[in-house]
Chain A
């Protein structure tokens, strides 16, 4: 079963996949905390146009992905200051980019195969040069997120409060979206544009359900991301089914029971503990109101 890793293309897949899993899991955590998971999805769809354009020009899709997602991330942070506005701005930009992507693909003659690879990923087609690039960019992204993590988390919790403490909230939000754009660009090589969500949001959606301490939640999210990717490559490498399928299936298969079970835990928890005081106070207040 592990014999597949003797092939160089499988080694490439494993190295690139691991780096991508780590970066996506870390950035996904912040996307969830900031309530920006839709922007995560939109940026990957926007990347589709970039990748298709790059294919049309005969260069590696990763460059097109990076140009489009980074430009779009800057547009999103400039256009949408409020969360509500941001979703609208994001959606408008996303659909325009998807339209462009369709145009580029129709102009290109190797239609079906390239489109398939952009949309659903071809992890086993990653070259050694891609691996080096992915690895280095991944390291840079991780270094930047480590530096900005604390003020970023602070401003995710409350923008105004963070601002009064001197956090440059606008700049930080912009930098963060650029990091997400770059992370999506490298993630797309592994799972494809349509399935980026599985590695970006899947692991941290599960982790934040289970753990509320930020650092531990990020660590769990990395562990899950790596597990999905490794298992996905192992299963995909030993079967005729695509790696992307296994990764997304694992991501979903773990999230679903956690979501269903942790809901039970939450309501039990509040019934037993944290709400007790306010419950008592409510009774007190209603008694007072009754007397009054």
Chain B
């Protein structure tokens, strides 16, 4: 190990002791319009954080900021101790699931491999270590049997597993998942939630997950970030999902019913 890489390793260790995400008075604008303002939050290593909020609240835009695809209009944003920038191997990302072409001529394994080296130039020759890394990630999401299946023909839940495996390949410290539970039936939602929780605990990776409904995630979420109408609040589900908080966020009366261990948010625009 040369001097430079030794120094870099020490720097990394120092950095890893700080928060994974640190935002101070961040405003996010898109096309001149304010999407979110005055975000203050600090997320620690190993935390499982769920982002909630109505459609159009800026959840995906918020993720784009953390991924370095957009810059804050003001305030300071740091992810893993640095200003966010694209191409970080320390951040794994699984985008919002969309309907893939049934005839998409890629196998599960090819898709997962993108997570490892899809950004590199050249053809990329197959190697044993590459194959082993991909198999390992597939095993971790219980998706080894999907390795050679055409991706487009898999069910939504199976595709979601592979997207998560893809995000794990660079051994990230932060895993960003955009609506991994969307369009999944209940049983599959539970499968995917426990899978993500397991990844969070065994790898000590920080999870940031966008969801529409907190209920399937109540057992695993450490904190939630609730976004609505340009504002956000962070805390444990009990602290955040309250009538006074949500009424303030939405700017109109909201009722929260907490019963049978589940939250139901009721209001004019929810």
B95 interface hit (Cβ, 8 Å): yes
Which of A8-16, A105-113, A273-281 participates in binding chain B?
A273-281
| A210: min CB distance to chain B, Å | 9
Query: Per-residue 0/1 for A98-127: is the Cβ within 8 Å of any B Cβ (1 yes, 0 no)?
Result: 000000000000000000000000000000
If A158-B95, A162-B119, A212-B148 are given as contacts, then 11 extra A-B residue pairs at C-beta distance below 8 Å, sorted by A number, are A164-B68, A165-B118, A211-B105, A212-B107, A213-B110, A214-B106, A278-B188, A281-B188, A281-B191, A285-B188, A288-B186
Contacting residues, chain A, for B191 (C-beta < 8 A): 281
Chain B neighbourhood of A33, CB < 8 A: 104-106
Flag whether B8 is at the interface (Cβ < 8 A): no
Partner of A282, one of B67, B122, B185: B185
From residue A165, how far is it (CB to closest CB) to chain B in Å? 4
Nearest-CB distance from B168 to chain A (Å)?
14
Q: A161-B114, A164-B93, A165-B87 are in contact. Are A146 and B106 (CB under 8 A)?
A: no
Judge whether B93 and A213 touch: CB under 8 Å: no
Specify which of B94, B95, B123, B156 is in contact with A150 (CB 8 Å cutoff).
Answer: B123
For the complex, what is the distance from the CA of A161 to the CA of B69, rounded to whole Å? 11
Assembly CA distance A286 to B114 (angstroms):
35
Which residue of the partner chain, among A162, A214, A285, contacts B110 with CB atoms under 8 Å? Answer: A214
Top 5 A-B pairs ranked by shortest CB distance? Answer: A166-B87, A154-B118, A278-B155, A208-B105, A165-B119
B47 at the interface (CB under 8 A from A): no
CA distance A115 to B87 in the complex (A): 50
Q: Are A161 and B123 in contact (CB under 8 A)?
A: no
Given known pairs A146-B123, A157-B104, the reply for A281 and B68 (CB within 8 Å) is: no
Taking CB atoms, residues of chain A closer than 8 Å to B188 are 278, 281, 285
| Residues in A whose Cβ lies below 8 Å from that of B187 | 281-282, 284-285, 288
A277, B166: Cα distance in complex, Å: 21
**B105/A217 in contact, CB under 8 A:** yes
Chain A: minimal CB distance from B141 (Å): 13
Is B118's CB under 8 angstroms from A150's CB? yes
Interface residues of B in 137-155 (CB under 8 A from A): 146, 148-151, 153-155
Contact pick for B118, options A35, A160, A162, CB 8 Å: A162
Whether B239 sits at the interface, judged by CB under 8 Å, is: no
Residues 240-290 of A contacting B (Cβ, < 8 Å): 266, 269-270, 273-275, 277-278, 281-282, 284-285, 288-289
A32 sits at the interface (CB 8 A): yes
Given A161-B95, A208-B103, A278-B188, are A147 and B153 also a contact pair (CB < 8 Å)?
no
What's the least CB distance linking A122 to chain B, in Å?
34
A–B complex contacts, Cβ < 8 Å, 6 sampled: A146-B122, A151-B118, A162-B114, A211-B105, A285-B186, A289-B186
Cα A270 to Cα B152 in complex, Å, equals 11
The B152-206 residues at the A interface (CB cut-off 8 A) are 153-158, 166, 185-188, 191
A274 contacts B158, C-beta separation under 8 Å: yes
Mark B97-114 against chain A: 1 for CB-CB distance below 8 A, else 0.
000010111110011001
Residue ID in chain A nearest B111 by CB atoms: A157
B67 and A281 contact, CB distance less than 8 A: no
B24 interface residue (CB < 8 Å to A): no
- Report how many residues on chain B are interfacial, defined by Cβ distance under 8 Å: 43
Chain A: minimal CB distance from B125 (Å):
10
**Minimum C-beta distance from B259 to chain A (A):** 15
Q: Which of A150, A214, A266, A285 contacts B153 (CB 8 A)?
A: A266
Binding site for A on B (CB under 8 A): 67-69, 86-87, 91, 93-95, 101, 103-107, 110-111, 114, 117-124, 146, 148-151, 153-158, 166, 185-188, 191
Interface residues of A (CB under 8 A from B): 32-33, 35, 146-151, 153-154, 157-158, 160-167, 208-209, 211-215, 217, 266, 269-270, 273-275, 277-278, 281-282, 284-285, 288-289
Q: Which residue of A lies closest to B157 (CB)?
A: A278
CA distance A163 to B87 in the complex (A): 8
Chain B residue, CB-CB nearest to A204: B105
State whether A274 touches B121 (Cβ < 8 A): no
Q: Which of B67, B68, B120, B185 contacts A151 (CB 8 A)?
A: B120
In the bound complex, residues from chain B placing their C-beta under 8 Å from that of A146 are 122-123
Cα A43 to Cα B61 in complex, Å, equals 35
- Cβ–Cβ contact B118 & A153, under 8 A: yes
Q: Give the chain B neighbours of A165 by CB distance below 8 A.
A: 86-87, 118-119
Smallest CB–CB gap between B186 and chain A, Å?
A: 5
State the CA gap A35–B148 with chains docked (Å). Answer: 22
B101 — which chain A residues lie within 8 A by C-beta?
35
Interface centre among B87, B118, B153 (most CB of A within 10 A): B118
A163 to B69, CA, bound (A): 8
A29, closest chain B residue (CB): B105
Residue pair A150, B121 in contact (C-beta under 8 Å): yes
Give A151 to B122 CA distance when docked, in angstroms: 8
A277/B158 in contact, CB under 8 A:
yes
Cβ–Cβ < 8 Å partners of B87 in chain A: 164-166
